[in-house]
Amino acid sequence: MPTPRPEDARDADLHRRLVLGDRQAFEELYRRYSGAAFGLAHRVTGHELLAQEVVHDSYLALWRAPEAFDPARGPFRTFFLSLVHHRAVDTVRREERLRRRTERMNPGPVADEDVAEGIVEESWLADRRVRVRSALENLPAEQRQVLDMAYFRGRTQAQIAAELGVPLGTVKTRTLTAMRKLQRMLAEEDHE
Amino acid sequence: MTFEDHEAIVELLAGHALHALDEEEAARAEDLLASHVPSCPQCSATLEGFRSVAGDLGLMAGSRRPSRLLGLRIRRMTSSRKLAVWLGRSVGIAAALLVGAVLLWNLHLSGRVNRAEERQARTTEVLNTVSHPESRIVPFSAERSELESGAMTAAFLPGRHFLYVFGSLPDPAPGRVYQVWLSREGRFRTAGTFLPEAGLVLLRLTVNPAIYDGVLITEEPASGSKEPSDRRIVTAAF
């Protein structure tokens, strides 16, 4: 197993303290990831208030059951953003079901009258984003497309196949190939 | 298992990590997560890798400052987690007495041997689940006259992919085991077999409880069965 990066080791330490109920550790994890979490939730839901609920519920889940994260299974960052992503996608699908049922239009993003919190993203997170973007840019366009539709638009693979007019097997193959390539490229970056 | 079988599983795991499977395939993935993946180092490592990629993909959305109000709401909730509160619920206390006293983790599902050092963590996990304000606590009903209803309990948190089954059961007949079944619209799928330890049971099933409508425990031959027999022990309906 590779040596954890300093920022991942820091997260692991914060998590250990969080399990013991340390509010300061929770506060620091909020400061470190609330921007990324809110950015992701907003991108997936496309809605300010829904995104807020997703982030709120994600941090609530973390606070109430911090042991859901197992440090042996990877960095805290990827665990938490996956948690946010799943909740955001569930929210989108629930809203879509509701919208279909009530046959009303999505009211669209609501402007938040509250002022934004002064959280400044740390440089290591921005660095990681650059690495992920670089890896994504190395994927063929059709593989990027299925990842984008699945991940950021909350589509199932069956929905993607229908929207693109390609067999479901093609979507699955593109997804798997893309995930394997990304895994390999990001792992290589981690070992550099 | 052939190479093609593994490729099909890995394909499913990729969709699972992206949360991009429809309901039916998600159920299949859950089956694999409970049965095959824990005992397959290759699939286990692949899944972890995919989960890591999925987490990192989240960074591509860019950072966005949350509102100050959201920060206040989130920080306020951290003052509400007090031991007295979450142990104050009667079910929580019962579970704490049960699992806290014995530190038991007798999960033998899929032949996976659990390490002793995991037991403490898992016990805490169960306690947190049963004492969570949003948890669903479902008592089992006894199907045999010699058993008491309520001797076994199922618990889960909506949105979490774990189902806990705990309580007390006598040893099954010699050469037999207990088998856990998850039911969905009248169909059953196995979640594994187990034996109580000193009469006590504490299981964690890696499944999405939302897609099932109940749990059944039966007594079966030591090798387990493909379908539940009529030797029903306890049932719980979600």
Which pLDDT belongs to residue A172?
96
Chain B residue with minimal CA distance to A117?
B68
Q: What does the angle CA B202 – CA B204 – CA B209 come to, to the nearest 5 degrees?
A: 125
For A183-186, the CB contacts below 8 A with 24+ separation are A183/B49, A183/B50, A183/B52, A183/B53, A185/A134, A185/A135, A185/A138, A186/A131, A186/A132, A186/A135, A186/B52, A186/B53, A186/B56
Regarding predicted confidence, which is higher, B74 or A11?
A11
Regarding predicted confidence, which is higher, B145 or B191?
B191
Is A21 part of the contact surface with chain B (CB cutoff 8 Å)? yes
Is A79 part of the contact surface with chain B (CB cutoff 8 Å)? yes
Summary mean pLDDT of chain B:
77
User: How sure is the predictor about B181, in pLDDT bands with cuts at 50, 70 and 90?
Assistant: very high
Which pLDDT belongs to residue A121?
59
Residue with tokens 């099932």: B212
Which pLDDT belongs to residue B69?
82
Tokens coding B138: 């479902």
Quick check: A36 and B58 CB within 8 A? yes
Other CB atoms within 10 A of residue B80 CB? 12
Contacts of B59 in chain A (CB under 8 A): 36, 40, 81, 125, 128-129, 132
Q: What proportion of chain B, given as a percentage, has pLDDT over 70?
A: 76
CB A164 within 8 A of CB B35: no
Chain A residue with minimal CA distance to B75?
A27
Nearest CB to B64; choose among A38, A115, A157: A38
Quick check: A117 and B65 CB within 8 A? yes
* Domain residue spans of chain B: 3-130, 136-237
| Chains A–B, number of C-beta pairs less than 8 Å apart | 203
Nearest CB to B65; choose among A75, A85, A119: A119
CB B81 within 8 A of CB B44: no
Quick check: A156 and B20 CB within 8 A? yes
Which pLDDT belongs to residue A118?
53
Residue B156 has pLDDT above 80, yes or no: yes
Average pLDDT over residues B195-218: 84
Quick check: A152 and B21 CB within 8 A? no
Quick check: A117 and B67 CB within 8 A? yes
User: How sure is the predictor about A117, in pLDDT bands with cuts at 50, 70 and 90?
Assistant: low
Nearest CB to A117; choose among B18, B66, B160: B66
Quick check: A63 and B15 CB within 8 A? no
The model's pTM is 0.61
Most confidently modeled range among A19-23, A174-178, B125-129: A174-178
Q: What are the backbone dihedrals phi and psi of residue B201, each rounded to the nearest 5 degrees, phi first? A: -130, 135
For A67-75, the CB contacts below 8 A with 24+ separation are A67/A19, A67/B121, A67/B124, A67/B125, A67/B128, A68/B125, A68/B160, A69/A15, A71/A12, A71/A15, A73/B48, A73/B51, A74/B48, A74/B51, A74/B52, A74/B55, A75/A4, A75/A5, A75/A8, A75/A11, A75/A12, A75/B52, A75/B55
Q: Cα(B94)–Cα(B127) distance, rounded to whole angstroms?
A: 10
Chain A residue with minimal CA distance to B49?
A183
Average pLDDT over residues B205-225: 88
Interface pTM (ipTM) of the complex?
Answer: 0.84
Helix (H, G, I), strand (E, B) or coil at B16: helix
B56 class by beta-carbon count within 10 Å (0-12 exposed, 13-18 middle, 19+ buried): buried
Residue A192 has pLDDT above 70, yes or no: no
Between residues 42 and 71 of chain A, which touch chain B (CB distance below 8 Å)? 42-44, 52, 55-56, 59-61, 63-65, 67-68
Between helix A123-137 and helix A168-191 the angle, nearest 10°, is 130
User: How many angstroms from the chain centroid is the CA of residue B214?
Assistant: 13
User: What's the pLDDT tens digit per position in B20-61?
Assistant: 999 889 888 888 888 888 888 989 899 999 999 999 999 999
CB A82 within 8 A of CB B54: yes
Read off the amino acid at residue A190: D
What residues contact A180, with CB distance under 8 A and at least 6 apart?
A: B14
Fold topology of B136-237: Immunoglobulin-like (2.60.40)
Residue B92 has pLDDT above 60, yes or no: no
Average pLDDT over residues A167-176: 96
Q: Which range (A48-57, B86-95, B175-184) has the least confidence? A: B86-95
Quick check: B65 and A26 CB within 8 A? no
Pairing label, strands B141-142, B232-237: antiparallel
User: What's the pLDDT tens digit per position in A56-114?
Assistant: 989 988 887 888 888 888 899 999 999 999 999 988 888 777 666 554 443 333 334 44
Chain B residue with minimal CA distance to A180?
B50
Q: Cα(A170)–Cα(B101) distance, rounded to whole angstroms?
A: 52
Residue B107 has pLDDT above 50, yes or no: no
Residue B183 has what DSSP assignment? E
Which pLDDT belongs to residue B196?
84
Which pLDDT belongs to residue B3?
72
Residue with tokens 């669903």: B136
Q: CA of B70, closest CA in chain A: separation in Å?
A: 7
Q: Which range (A32-46, A48-62, A158-172) has the least confidence? A: A48-62
Q: Which residues of A101-130 are buried (b: 16+ CB within 10 A; e: fewer)?
A: eeeeeeeeeeeeeeebbebebbeebeebbe
CB A55 within 8 A of CB A38: yes
Residues in chain B: 238
